[in-house]
Structure 1
Amino acid sequence: MVKQERARRTREKVLDAAAEEFAVQGYSRATLNAVAERTGMTKGALYGHFPSKRVLAGALLTQSQEVWEEMLLARDMSGVAARTALESLVLDLARRLRADVRLRAALRLATDCPNLAHTMPDVFDEIRRDLVDLIDRAQREGGMAPHPPELVAQLLLAAMHGALHVSFGSAGCGDTSAWEAVWRLLLDALSGDRDADLDVHGR
């Protein structure tokens, strides 16, 4: 049991290091040598857990797919309006992309190297399809303006990607209230509700 727990902790450390490397370098420029250096392991020891860069990428993609499915199930429930579920999901995804390097790395892998998706989970495409479904349902329920759902989903995903590289407000990237206000403004604008309170200061 002690040996198994040690192996589990080592595996988690490797996944975190690989995520950092993939998030910064992308799939093509990331190397197992760099991952090994981040963990303080030898390359041979790393091979004992993950025999190739592709296997490492696959582990991150699979894990992130599971995280996304849990997020969706926790919000898209019977009796919950699609607009409410969409807003909660988008805000949570935006938070997680800033805080969870594994999810951030998985989305970069899915967008930078789509060929991986032939044999591994395509997390980006799954998120896009689920957002399109929620947007379509929200429009049919009267909770959003009738813009093409695919375009709205692409806009949300593009905004999430850009938000990772932008600080909102003078407080910088740590000011979560500022960037959450930006997300609510965007969602309110997409709702088409002219009476929505778009002022982040509540005026």
Structure 2
Amino acid sequence: MYVLSLTLEGANMAQQERARRTREKALTAAAEVFASHGYSRTTLSEVAERIGMTKGALYGHFPSKSSLARALIDESRQAWASLRTEYDTPGADAEGVLEGVVVNFADRLRSDVRLRATVRIAADCPVLARTLADVLTEVQNALMELIRRAQRDSGFPPYSPRLVANLLMTVTYGVLYAPAACLESDGAHDGEPLWRLLFGALSGSGVTGSGRGDGRGVSDP
């Protein structure tokens, strides 16, 4: 009886693992199609075909196209939360945390098709855009909190936290659509000089064309 129980438990675990892998494949496939074709032109049949399964089998994991989209939007919320956890550690400099989460979130947008698909979904589907807007509001509020902390603890200039947060979010999503050549500078291909310039200008630390501080400072406007 004990052996049978262990066998059944092992079979259940294997089944759960297969279901998890299938779900992950489905999300990646859906993200690729969403990012390429947009929400309205994506079909469950195309997603199922991309991962070699029937539409009926896909229904077992995601009963509708909107459920796939909502799962990807939920992941975008988790991605942001994980970055906050990674960088916003006890005793960390608030300005450094602010730069770290923004730059790495921008990098994730460019490299992670699942995260990138949420931007296309927001542009194509007004109903789901409202759901994503809730995520963006969370991101904005988190940035404003970090900006206030940086102003209080790190000498960050007293610009409007909401204005700075909106600027950072605008640049973050703008970088997603910028041609690669626009992000290249002095051999760098990851947009680092652009971010150094932006954060240097915001903090008043002063930057050179290469994105490195020159020690001269920049007066506040």
Q: Report the TM range for the smaller structure's normalisation.
A: 0.7 to 0.9
Query: Partner amino acid for 1:141?
Result: D
Amino acid at match of 2:207: D
Instruction: Give the secondary-structure state (helix, strand or coil) at the position aligned to 1:156.
Output: helix
Per the TM alignment, residue 130 of structure 1 is displaced from its structure 2 partner at its CA by: 0.9
Structure with larger Rg: 2
The residue aligned with 1:5 is: 17
Which of 170, 176, 192 lines up with 1:164 in the alignment?
176
Q: 1:17 aligns with which of 1, 7, 29?
A: 29
TM-score, normalising length from structure 2?
Answer: 0.77
Structure 2 match to 1:82: 94
- Which of 162-171 and 84-93 deviates more? 162-171
| Deviations 1:156-189 (CA, angstroms, capped at 9, x unpaired) | 12212221222344896xx754511111111111
Conservation of the 8 A alpha-carbon contact between 2:76 and 2:118: yes
- Which residue of structure 2 aligns with residue 154 of structure 1? 166
In the other structure, the counterpart of 1:200 is 210
Structure scoring higher RCO (CA < 8 A, sep ≥ 6) equals 1
Cα distance, 1:45 vs structure 2? 1.6
- 1:33 is displaced (CA, Å) by 2.4
TM-score scaled by length of structure 1: 0.83
Choose the corresponding residue for 1:93, options 91, 105, 114: 105
Of the three residues 105, 123, 126, the one matched with 2:138 is 126
SS across alignment from 1:49: coil
Q: Which runs of 5+ in 1 are unaligned?
A: none
User: CA offsets per residue over residues 80-123 of structure 1, 9 Å max, x none?
Assistant: 12111001111111111111111222344356545337678832
- 8 Å CA contact retained: 2:34, 2:117: yes
Conservation of the 8 A alpha-carbon contact between 1:111 and 1:124: no
CA distance in 2, matches of 1:47, 1:23: 21
Relative to structure 1, the CA distance from residue 165 to residue 85 in structure 2 (aligned partners, 3 Å threshold; closer, same or farther) is same
Contact in 1 for aligned 2:34/2:120 (Cα 8 Å): yes
Residue 40 of structure 2: SS of its match in structure 1?
helix
Cα offset for 1:201? 6.6
Identity %: 51
CA–CA separation in structure 1 for the residues paired with 2:164 and 2:41 = 32
Question: Is this contact kept in 1: 2:93–2:154, CA < 8 A?
Answer: no
| CA 45–73 in structure 1, closer or farther in 2 if over 3 Å, else same | same
Match of 2:194 in 1: 182
State the AA in 1 paired with 2:142: D
Aligned twin of 2:62? 50
Amino acid in the other structure paired with 1:200: S
3-state SS in 2 of match to 1:59: helix
Letter in 2 for 1:20: E
- Give the superposed CA RMSD: 2.7
Note the alpha carbon deviations across 1:39-63, whole angstroms, 9 max, x for none. 2322112111110112111211222
Alignment correspondent of 2:147? 135
The number of equivalent residue pairs is: 199
Contact 2:121 2:129 in 1 (8 A): no
User: Is the CA contact (8 Å cut-off) linking 1:62 and 1:121 kept in structure 2?
Assistant: no
Residues 54-65 of structure 1 aligned to structure 2 (within 5 Å)? 54-65=66-77
CA deviations over 1:123-158 (Å, ceiling 9, x no partner): 222212211211222123353322222222222122
